Amino acid sequence: MSNNKKIYDKGIVFTGLVIFLALITFPFWYNRGIAAPAPEPELTEKAKAAKECVLPADEMKTGHMQLLNDWRNDVVRNADRMYVNEHGKEFNMSLSNECLDCHSSKEDFCDRCHNYASVKPYCWDCHIDNPKEKM
């Protein structure tokens, strides 16, 4: 469009452009091209043997936080500790005793995805780190 070749106020314009580019491309240079595939949460032998969790794996992936939240409400408010899934299987609604029973390593199971997605669940504010060891 412009007939002009010359760029005026070069210093300040290019400084501005460099800042703009640096900001806009932040994710590109911050990660330095190091591939970051989704982490694989490590399943314990017990978990593998069980084959199925409370809900199908896909639903657990996207909805476990809500399930846990519902569990907590049921337990704390209604003193209800029993959960029955659609296959009629019963579960004790307890993070420490039920979930962590199979997924016994918080570090290798929970934290992997939580760290990847930068999620900081407040579960661990109360529930101790490795219940098996300390109980």
Residues that bind other proteins (CB under 8 A): 1-10, 13, 16-17, 20-21, 24-28, 30-31, 33-39, 58, 61-63, 65-66, 68-69, 113, 115-120, 122
For residues 66 and 134, which CB has a smaller minimum distance to other proteins in the complex? 66
For residues 24 and 126, which CB has a smaller minimum distance to other proteins in the complex? 24
Calpha distance 61→17 (Å, rounded):
41
For residues 50 and 119, which CB has a smaller minimum distance to other proteins in the complex? 119
- Return phi, psi of residue 98, to 5°: -100, -60
DSSP 8-state class, residue 123: H
For residues 107 and 132, which CB has a smaller minimum distance to other proteins in the complex? 107
> Cα–Cα distances in Å, from 9 out to 14, 15, 19, 20, 134?
8, 10, 16, 16, 67
For residue 110, the minimal CB distance to other proteins (Å) is 12
Contacts of 134 (CB under 8 A, 6+ apart): 128
For residue 30, the minimal CB distance to other proteins (Å) is 5
